[in-house]
Amino acid sequence: MVTAAVPIDPRIAAAAAGDRAAAQALCRELLPRVRNLVRYLVRGDARVDDIAQEALIAVLRGLASFRGDGKFESWVARVVARSTFATLRRLRAETQPGAEDVASRERDTTERSPYEDRRELAAALDRLPRDQREALILHISVGLTVPEIAEAVAAPFETVRSRLRLAKATLRETLKGAA
């Protein structure tokens, strides 16, 4: 059984064909999603905007290769992840600042806001080793399978499975201790 490709959105086709206005509109639409994904993959916010900009450029350059076989958002997430990893590999020679712990505050445990929960989760993610954090974000946020993650990060399948298992266990323990 052969499945036909889904018709490509005319805005995407126009941007791929070189329409500057369509490309700008597409960038404005994608920027928040791209920035959030990069922010989750990179510790600290110092380089997020630069890496997100490079990732958006990679998306625009690769638009002609989008065939419409799957969801456009998934394709964008894969391009952004690969671009982010390439940028991080280039920057590895530099010393990366460590993630700072969020200052502990006294809070009423009966009333926790979703914002506090998100900050706690982000801090717990920042404490994970880089390899485990990348695998977990690609699996949970982007929706990649273990073989797809293994291909994206150039690591063996079993290594990625182990990283996911360790990341989940560490987060579970960290968040259980904080509750």
**What separation in angstroms does the CA of 42 have from each of 45, 70, 78?**
8, 26, 15
Same domain, 55 and 137: no
pLDDT band at 6 (very low <50, low <70, confident <90, very high): low
What is the per-residue pLDDT for 108?
41
Same domain, 84 and 163: no
Residue 107 lies in a domain: no
Same domain, 86 and 172: no
CATH code at 10?
A: 1.10.1740.10
Asked whether residue 105 carries a pLDDT value surpassing 60, the answer given is no
The C-alpha angle 72, 161, 131, rounded to 5 degrees, equals 75
pLDDT in tens, 8-67: 788 888 888 888 898 899 989 999 989 888 888 887 667 888 899 999 999 988 888 888
Contacts of 37 (CB under 8 A, 6+ apart): 77, 80, 81, 84, 137, 141, 142
Same domain, 77 and 28: yes
Same domain, 78 and 3: yes
What is the per-residue pLDDT for 16?
84
Residue 106 lies in a domain: no
Same domain, 117 and 67: no
Structural domain for 166, as ranges: 113-179
pLDDT in tens, 110-153: 455 566 777 777 788 888 898 998 898 888 888 888 998 898 88
Residue 79 lies in a domain: yes
pLDDT band at 166 (very low <50, low <70, confident <90, very high): very high
Per the structure, how many domains does the chain have? 2
Same domain, 76 and 151: no
Asked whether residue 88 carries a pLDDT value surpassing 90, the answer given is no
pLDDT in tens, 75-85: 888 899 888 88
Give the integer Cα–Cα distance in Å for 128 and 163. Answer: 10
What is the per-residue pLDDT for 98?
44
Residue 120 lies in a domain: yes
Same domain, 81 and 162: no
Same domain, 8 and 63: yes
